[in-house]
């Protein structure tokens, strides 16, 4: 008899403290393998395995590509690498970013769903935006169990709230009960694996292969969705729209993937970058006009100098308008729908001039 012996956990902002609380309450003889993805800086060394190993009875580590999946271990995604599974072994790959992150929660969840089906338990903890929603939907579609931290007690409730707004989950529990819930679920026998269409399975396999660094264009990504007028904020590639139930996602022809929320956040940041570049270009133009004006002034040609000084002042005014636009630029995402009056946690971060 098979059991729920594969646990995949995804988290972001506030995730370290949340993971510590979860692993602390897991038993040392847990008959399951635990996989963890947390959004992190790609350039900073991660000591999360050491932290989790000290916090609970299970050994945690960054796996190597090809490691065997074993019960009683916590496999932690390393910085700037996707954590995936295939045929009872771990894959550590440098595939395209998903939702602007590598490692990505959705990439792990999809591979877990495809490989283990109803044996999987997917868990979404605290975090911003909605990485994990699509992957948890896939786990549920393949017979697995969907678990979400109660957003009321989450450090950053947007990730759990996004899941709950898009799909029906099996369990919503506070963090203090998460470890005991997982311990009980691991001991429950699984049900049958639901049958899915060949088209759905083909797309799932394609997306898992893309995450392993396979070429998205050669794999035929353009043909599995609706071509859009949007371009990828990562590489400017063409984006196709994908539908999963009520969930809308996007993937570009080079492989980058986005939820609608992550795409909105990426485009809003790209818009700010364009404004900065425009302002810098105009300011450079202004400096050159002033320099030429000063050259004519030094040659005692005031009329010619005034022409260039006048143009420089016009450009300075244009740059000032753009500068004010940059100052007021907001980093936007679909998390705006969760905004509550007076609750600053739900408000988009307003960017200031820090360049």
Going by C-alpha positions, the residue among 154, 181, 171, 176 that lies closest to residue 27 is 181
Coil, strand or helix at 209: helix
Asked if residue 107 lies in contact with residue 211, where contact means CB atoms within 8 angstroms, the answer is yes
Residue found by looking up tokens 């005031």 in the block: 302
Phi, psi of 300 (to 5 degrees): 60, 45
Cis amide leading into 103 (omega within 30): yes
Catalytically active residues, by annotation: 12, 39, 131
d(CA 150, CA 158): 11
Altogether, the residues listed in the chain come to a count of 355
- Please report which residue ranges of the chain form alpha helices under DSSP H: 15-24, 48-55, 105-116, 133-141, 158-166, 175-186, 198-211, 260-298, 302-328
Residue 302 CA, chain-centre distance (Å), reads: 58
Q: How far is CA 196 from the centre of its chain?
A: 26
Distance CA 115, CA 134 (A): 16
């Amino acid at each position: 008899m098979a059991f729920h012996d594969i646990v995949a956990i995804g988290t972001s902002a506030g995730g370290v403290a949340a993971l510590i609380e979860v692993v602390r309450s897991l038993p040392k003889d847990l008959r399951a393998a635990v996989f963890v993805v947390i959004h992190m800086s790609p350039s900073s060394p991660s000591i999360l395995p050491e932290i989790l190993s000290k916090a609970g009875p299970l050994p945690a580590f960054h796996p190597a590509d090809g490691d065997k999946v074993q019960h009683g271990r916590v496999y932690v995604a390393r910085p700037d690498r996707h954590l995936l599974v295939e045929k009872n072994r771990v894959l550590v790959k440098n595939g395209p970013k998903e939702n602007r992150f590598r490692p990505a929660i959705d990439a792990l969840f999809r591979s877990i769903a495809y490989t283990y089906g109803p044996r999987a338990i997917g868990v979404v903890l605290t975090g911003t935006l909605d990485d994990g929603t699509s992957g948890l939907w896939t786990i549920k579609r393949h017979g697995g169990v969907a678990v979400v931290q109660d957003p009321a007690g989450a450090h950053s409730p947007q990730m759990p709230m996004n899941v709950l707004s898009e799909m029906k989950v099996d369990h919503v529990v506070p963090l203090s009960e998460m470890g005991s819930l997982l311990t009980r679920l691991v001991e429950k026998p699984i049900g049958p694996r639901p049958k899915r269409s060949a088209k759905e399975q083909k797309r799932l396999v394609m997306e898992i292969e893309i995450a392993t660094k396979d070429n998205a264009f050669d794999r035929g990504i353009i043909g599995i969705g609706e071509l859009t007028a949007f371009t990828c904020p990562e590489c400017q590639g063409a984006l196709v729209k994908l539908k999963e139930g009520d969930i809308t996602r996007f993937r570009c022809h080079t492989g980058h993937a986005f939820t609608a929320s992550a795409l909105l956040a990426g485009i809003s940041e790209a818009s700010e970058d364009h404004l900065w570049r425009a302002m810098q270009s105009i300011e450079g133009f202004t400096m050159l006009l002033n320099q030429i004006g000063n050259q004519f002034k030094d040659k005692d040609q005031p009329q010619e100098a005034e022409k260039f000084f006048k143009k420089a002042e016009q450009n300075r005014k244009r740059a000032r308008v753009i500068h004010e636009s940059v100052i007021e630029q907001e980093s936007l995402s679909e998390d705006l729908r969760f905004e509550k009056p007076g609750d600053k946690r739900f408000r988009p971060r307003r960017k200031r001039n820090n360049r």
